[in-house]
C-alpha cells in the first residue's frame, strides 16, 4: 500500500519500519516508536518543539522526512541522559527553572545542547539568537538562557 522499508538509528538503536514515504521524522518518533518526548507544536518549522539531532546537528523533525534520516545518527530527548545520570543541560534546566508548562522543554534542551556544542553560547546575545527558533509560550526565556549559558561556561 505504498509503504517502504525505512531503517533508522535512534538513540543508538536500529529501528526497522514500514512507512509511507512522506512520513515525517516527528510522526515516526511519536506515532511509530512511542518516543513522545519530542513534541508537535506547529508542525511547520515555526516553534522548535520538535527539535532533535541528526548527526549532532539540530533539526526540526516536523520538516524532515524519516527517509532522509536513514544512515544517520538520530538523537532525541530520550537519548540524552546516561542511565540515571541526566545530561548537564537537563540539570541546568532544573536548576534554573527553565520551563513552566514544559511543552517546549525537550526542544529547548536539544537546541541548547547543540548551541553549546557548536560554540554559539559564548555571550547572552549569541545564545539568545541561536535559541530564537524555540518558542516558549510561558515566556521562560530568561531562565532558559541562564541554563544554556551555565552549561557553556
C-alpha cell at 107: 526542544
Closer residue to ligand FES in complex, CB, 39/149: 39
Closer residue to ligand FES in complex, CB, 40/149: 40
Of 60, 58, 47, 39, nearest in space to 148 by CA: 58
CB of 92 to ligand FES, least distance (A): 23
Closer residue to ligand FES in complex, CB, 48/98: 48
Secondary structure of residue 149 in the 3-state scheme: helix
CB of 141 to ligand FES, least distance (A): 17
CB of 67 to ligand FES, least distance (A): 18
**What kind and span of H or E run contains 18?**
strand 13-19
Which residue's CB comes closest to ligand FES?
62
Closer residue to ligand FES in complex, CB, 61/96: 61
Query: First vs last Cα of the chain: how many Å apart?
Result: 52
Cα(151)–Cα(153) distance, integer angstroms: 5
CB of 33 to ligand FES, least distance (A): 17
Residues near ligand FES (CB under 6 A): 40-43, 45-50, 60, 62
CB of 54 to ligand FES, least distance (A): 14
Q: What angle do CA 66, 107, 34 make, to 5 degrees?
A: 50
Closer residue to ligand FES in complex, CB, 21/45: 45
Of 97, 107, 110, nearest in space to 142 by CA: 97
Amino acid at each position: 500500500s505504498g509503504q517502504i522499508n525505512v531503517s533508522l538509528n535512534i538513540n543508538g538503536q536500529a529501528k526497522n519500519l514500514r512507512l509511507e514515504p512522506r512520513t515525517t521524522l516527528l510522526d515516526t518518533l511519536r506515532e511509530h516508536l512511542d518516543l513522545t518526548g519530542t513534541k508537535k507544536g506547529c508542525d511547520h518549522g515555526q516553534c522548535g518543539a520538535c527539535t532533535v539531532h541528526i548527526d549532532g546537528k539540530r533539526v526540526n523533525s516536523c520538516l524532515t522526512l524519516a527517509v532522509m534520516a536513514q544512515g544517520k545518527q538520530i538523537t532525541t530527548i530520550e537519548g540524552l541522559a546516561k542511565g540515571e545520570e541526566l545530561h548537564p543541560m537537563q540539570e541546568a534546566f532544573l536548576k534554573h527553572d527553565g520551563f513552566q508548562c514544559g511543552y517546549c522543554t525537550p526542544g529547548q534542551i536539544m537546541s541548547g545542547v547543540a548551541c553549546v556544542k557548536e560554540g554559539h553560547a559564548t555571550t547572552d546575545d549569541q545564545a539568545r539568537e541561536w535559541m530564537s527558533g524555540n518558542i516558549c509560550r510561558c515566556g521562560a526565556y530568561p531562565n532558559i538562557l541562564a541554563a544554556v549559558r551555565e552549561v557553556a561556561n
